[in-house]
A and B are shown apart, each in its own frame.
Chain A
Amino acid sequence: MTPELMEAGTDALNKHLGLVASNAGESGGRAASYGRVVEPDQLDVTHGSILYLDDISVSFDGFKALNKLCLNIAVGEMRCIIGPNGAGKTTMMDVITGKTRPDAGTAYFGSTIDLLARRENEIAQIGIGRKFQKPTVFEHLSVFENLELALKADRRARASVFFKLSGEQLDRIGEMLKLIHLKGQAQRTAGLLSHGQKQWLEIGMLLMQDPKLLLLDEPVAGMTDEETERTAELFLSLEGAHSLVVVEHDMKFINELTTRGANANRKRVTVLHEGSVLAEGTLADVQANDKVVEVYLGR
Chain B
Amino acid sequence: MSAVMTSSMPHLPAVTVPRSALGSKGWTAVAAAVITVLVLAPVLNLLVPEGSALHLSDYAVALIGKIMCYAICALAMDLIWGYTGILSLGHGLFFALGGYGMGMYLMRQIGRDGSYHSDLPDFMVFLDWKTVPWHWTFSESFIAQMILVVLVPGLLAFIFGFFAFRSRIKGVYFSIITQAMTFAAMLLFFRNETGFGGNNGFTDFKRILGIPIAQPSTRMVLFVLTGMTLIGFYLMARWLVNTKFGRVLQAIRDAENRVMFCGYNPLAYKLAIWTLSAVMCAIAGALYVPQVGIINPSEMSAASGIEIAIWAAVGGRASLIGPIIGAFFVNGAKSWFTQAFPEFWLYFLGALFILVTLYLPDGIVGGVKKLLNKNAEVKA
Q: Do chains A and B touch in the complex (CB under 8 A)?
A: yes
Partner-B contacts on A (CB < 8 A)? 97, 99, 119-121, 124-125, 129-130, 132, 136-142, 144-145, 148-150, 155-157, 160-163, 187-189, 191-192, 205, 209
Taking a contact as CB atoms under 8 Å apart, the answer to whether A189 and B240 are in contact is no
- Of the candidate stretches B28-36, B111-119, B253-261, the one touching chain A is B253-261
B211 beta carbon closer than 8 Å to chain A: no
27 A-B residue pairings within 8 Å (CB atoms):
A97-B261, A120-B257, A124-B262, A129-B261, A132-B258, A136-B258, A139-B12, A139-B255, A141-B251, A141-B254, A144-B18, A149-B244, A149-B247, A149-B248, A149-B264, A155-B263, A155-B265, A157-B269, A160-B244, A163-B243, A163-B245, A187-B16, A187-B17, A187-B18, A189-B13, A191-B9, A191-B12
CA distance A189 to B13 in the complex (A): 7
A sample of 12 more A-B contacts (CB under 8 A), given A119-B265, A140-B9, A155-B265, is: A138-B258, A141-B247, A145-B16, A148-B244, A149-B248, A157-B268, A160-B244, A160-B248, A161-B244, A163-B244, A187-B15, A187-B17
Q: Which residues from A are CB-within-8-Å of B180? A: none
Q: A139-B254, A187-B16, A192-B12 are in contact. Are A162 and B265 (CB under 8 A)?
A: no
CA distance A141 to B240 in the complex (A): 15
Taking a contact as CB atoms under 8 Å apart, the answer to whether A149 and B254 are in contact is no
Q: CB-defined interface of B1-43 with A at 8 Å, one 1/0 digit per residue?
A: 0000000010011111110000000000000000000000000
Q: A142-B16, A187-B17 are in contact. Are A120 and B260 (CB under 8 A)?
A: yes
Taking a contact as CB atoms under 8 Å apart, the answer to whether B255 and A138 are in contact is yes
Q: A141-B251, A155-B265 are in contact. Are A121 and B244 (CB under 8 A)?
A: no
CA distance A121 to B261 in the complex (A): 6
Q: Which residues from B are CB-within-8-Å of A162? A: 243
Contact of A149 among B13, B14, B251 (CB under 8 A): B251
Contact of A136 among B14, B243, B255 (CB under 8 A): B255
How many whole Å from A240's CB to the nearest CB in chain B? Answer: 24
B146 beta carbon closer than 8 Å to chain A: no
Q: A149-B244, A157-B272, A161-B243 are in contact. Are A189 and B261 (CB under 8 A)?
A: no
How many whole Å from B9's CB to the nearest CB in chain A? Answer: 7
Taking a contact as CB atoms under 8 Å apart, the answer to whether A209 and B262 are in contact is yes
Q: Which residues from B are CB-within-8-Å of A148? A: 244, 247
CA distance A209 to B248 in the complex (A): 15
Look across to chain B and name the residue whose beta carbon is closest to the beta carbon of A126: B263
CA distance A272 to B26 in the complex (A): 58
CA distance A125 to B260 in the complex (A): 9
CA distance A120 to B260 in the complex (A): 6
Q: A136-B257, A138-B255 are in contact. Are A192 and B14 (CB under 8 A)?
A: yes
Taking a contact as CB atoms under 8 Å apart, the answer to whether B254 and A124 are in contact is no
How many whole Å from A72's CB to the nearest CB in chain B? Answer: 23
B179 beta carbon closer than 8 Å to chain A: no
Q: A120-B260, A157-B272 are in contact. Are A138 and B243 (CB under 8 A)?
A: no
B250 beta carbon closer than 8 Å to chain A: yes
Look across to chain B and name the residue whose beta carbon is closest to the beta carbon of A120: B260
Q: For residues 184 through 228 of chain B, which have their beta carbon under 8 Å from a beta carbon of chain A?
A: none
Look across to chain A and name the residue whose beta carbon is closest to the beta carbon of B249: A160
Interface residues in B, total, Cβ within 8 A: 33
Taking a contact as CB atoms under 8 Å apart, the answer to whether A121 and B257 are in contact is no
CA distance A254 to B230 in the complex (A): 59
Q: Which residues from A are CB-within-8-Å of B266? A: 121
Taking a contact as CB atoms under 8 Å apart, the answer to whether A189 and B263 are in contact is no
Q: Which residues from A are CB-within-8-Å of B251? A: 138, 141, 149
Q: CB-defined interface of B336-377 with A at 8 Å, one 1/0 digit per residue?
A: 000000000000000000000000000000000000000000
CA distance A150 to B258 in the complex (A): 10
Look across to chain A and name the residue whose beta carbon is closest to the beta carbon of B270: A157
Taking a contact as CB atoms under 8 Å apart, the answer to whether B262 and A205 are in contact is yes
CA distance A121 to B269 in the complex (A): 13
Most buried by B among A99, A124, A130, A137: A124
Q: Which residues from A are CB-within-8-Å of B272? A: 157
CA distance A97 to B248 in the complex (A): 20
Taking a contact as CB atoms under 8 Å apart, the answer to whether A120 and B261 are in contact is yes
CA distance A144 to B268 in the complex (A): 24
Taking a contact as CB atoms under 8 Å apart, the answer to whether A121 and B258 are in contact is no
Taking a contact as CB atoms under 8 Å apart, the answer to whether B265 and A160 are in contact is no
CA distance A148 to B250 in the complex (A): 13
CA distance A54 to B225 in the complex (A): 64
Q: A132-B258, A141-B247, A161-B243 are in contact. Are A121 and B16 (CB under 8 A)?
A: no
Q: Which residues from B are CB-within-8-Å of A140? A: 9, 12, 16, 250, 253-254, 318
Taking a contact as CB atoms under 8 Å apart, the answer to whether B261 and A125 are in contact is no
Q: Which residues from B are CB-within-8-Å of A205? A: 262
Q: Which 9 A-B pairs have the closest CB atoms?
A: A142-B16, A124-B263, A160-B245, A163-B244, A157-B268, A125-B263, A120-B260, A160-B244, A136-B258
CA distance A5 to B108 in the complex (A): 88
Look across to chain A and name the residue whose beta carbon is closest to the beta carbon of B272: A157
